[in-house]
Structure 1
């Protein structure tokens, strides 16, 4: 389960420029870059932002938007470097701290993300984004009480944001407090019934209760709302395994791995498939390393032992 954040929507910096020739030129390059981003052409956008920076190396908005373009290309290190340049030339740039923090988080640099969250707490304390970032960091560090407190504070500052309620529900899910999680999901759905993550989390709760058909229907709703998330397909594959549709389940698990080969849950699910098929060698190929690296992952120990007993 990944905690959802809206990383790119609405974050492009806009700058008004004067009639001065350099200002006029760099501003036009910025706007051309923005147009290319809107056209989903981040590579061309980067070229235009680079032209703006060539005219003014301290142009923080161009650095910021160039970072956004790198994010669209999944170039985290480049994005972090550009957000840092934007901050260097505009030290009081809250959105750059927030987006850099999210990028650090995605890059596995959790304590750097935490540092950016702390800057936001100190310098932009009435903005929900700093608490949201703190919550994401704490969740990654498995400090669930801090994560929950942070998400609750963010939700107080931005009560119409359903994502923040889903984040809280996710923390309760991790703590096996399924009733509290479900209450928050109901509240989130009353705000935004088209939030795919709430339906995915509902599916995970249903699975843990052994309600496999209900889990399947919920994750299918999530996929209908957002077909780009690899872990939705992995979850659907898992539910199909437990519904006896093993080949269909494996197909979806493999699809998930093709979309994102860094998800250990998908490898676990392949191991479960081979246990169900009675293929000891293939099952242990997946489950032995997972049992070593992720011994506390749900179902890993159970199916590792089942594989050994085949």
Structure 2
């Protein structure tokens, strides 16, 4: 299962602070926009030396650290931003994403919940919380969060995809098919959705559709042995034992035992 988390990027101009902090902060923003994160961090640090009570600088330095996979450093910076601005919903959201990266799922959910409490219409926080709940096996709760995220912002293909995963997990295969279809229509490059829609089709005994989807997926990822197993099951369901055995043999050669 592949999911992504949504960070909130905040690029703002600052007024009412000392000139050195403005200079270094704005330079940091410019460098970050070019993905020059090391230089951005250096400039945000200089801005904070001039004005340590600048929550935007802590926030954006944290975001740059996240991009460099320094999740511990990012969490510390987001925490400082929150100390200065306790109602900083975006900082809670992003800190939650970094906690997730470090395997602190309970802490991530807590931060997303704080972000939602501060901003009830925060679609990204609902999405992120739903993804983490799905990861820890709470598919029912994940469905609720992802549905709320879609109600607030229906334009993000990943939300439909992840809700499809959640519907598969709870056995609601018809709704899963609908969500994967929506995700594919929104993002034609999301080929992994074909694999999981194939699972939903196979589970609901729509074997021909499952075959079409899994074969399309295998065109983009020929090294996924689980997909060959899925194809084998679908072919066996249609009575085509020759193709079913061929797919199983391919999976076996790849070292993937049938589950």
Residue aligning to 1:5: 5
**8 Å contact from structure 2 (residues 184, 193) kept in 1:** no
1:49 to 30, 44, 59: 44
Say if 1:88 and 1:234 are closer, same or farther in 2 by CA, change over 3 A: farther
Stretches of structure 1 lacking an aligned partner (at least 5 in a row): 222-231, 245-271, 284-298, 304-310
1:125 to 117, 120, 124: 120
Shift of 1:171: 0.6
Say if 1:119 and 1:177 are closer, same or farther in 2 by CA, change over 3 A: same
Q: Does 1:59 align with 2:58?
A: no
SS in 1 for 2:10: coil
Residue aligning to 1:193: 187
Residue aligning to 2:216: 217
Residue aligning to 1:276: 252
**8 Å contact from structure 2 (residues 168, 176) kept in 1:** yes
Say if 1:96 and 1:273 are closer, same or farther in 2 by CA, change over 3 A: farther
SS in 2 for 1:115: helix
Residue aligning to 2:166: 171
Residue aligning to 1:253: none
Deviations 1:73-110 (CA, angstroms, capped at 9, x unpaired): 11111111111111111111111011111111121111
What number of residue pairs does the alignment pair up?
237
Distance across 1 between alignment mates of 2:231 and 2:132: 35
Say if 1:70 and 1:129 are closer, same or farther in 2 by CA, change over 3 A: same
SS in 1 for 2:137: coil
Distance across 1 between alignment mates of 2:250 and 2:154: 45
SS in 2 for 1:44: helix
Distance across 2 between alignment mates of 1:4 and 1:92: 25
**8 Å contact from structure 1 (residues 42, 69) kept in 2:** yes
Shift of 1:219: 5.9
Distance across 2 between alignment mates of 1:12 and 1:219: 39
1:109 to 100, 104, 107: 104
RMSD: 3.0
| Structure-2-length-normalised TM-score | 0.78
Distance across 1 between alignment mates of 2:4 and 2:126: 14
Say if 1:218 and 1:39 are closer, same or farther in 2 by CA, change over 3 A: same
Say if 1:138 and 1:207 are closer, same or farther in 2 by CA, change over 3 A: closer
Say if 1:273 and 1:25 are closer, same or farther in 2 by CA, change over 3 A: farther
Distance across 2 between alignment mates of 1:233 and 1:58: 52
Say if 1:233 and 1:173 are closer, same or farther in 2 by CA, change over 3 A: farther
Say if 1:65 and 1:213 are closer, same or farther in 2 by CA, change over 3 A: same
Shift of 1:46: 0.7
**8 Å contact from structure 2 (residues 123, 149) kept in 1:** yes
Deviations 1:251-303 (CA, angstroms, capped at 9, x unpaired): xxxxxxxxxxxxxxxxxxxxx9998249xxxx6xxxxxxxxxxxxxxx76x46
* Greater relative CO (CA pairs within 8 A, separation 6+): 2
Distance across 1 between alignment mates of 2:249 and 2:68: 34
| Structure-1-length-normalised TM-score | 0.67
**8 Å contact from structure 1 (residues 12, 34) kept in 2:** no
Say if 1:58 and 1:219 are closer, same or farther in 2 by CA, change over 3 A: farther
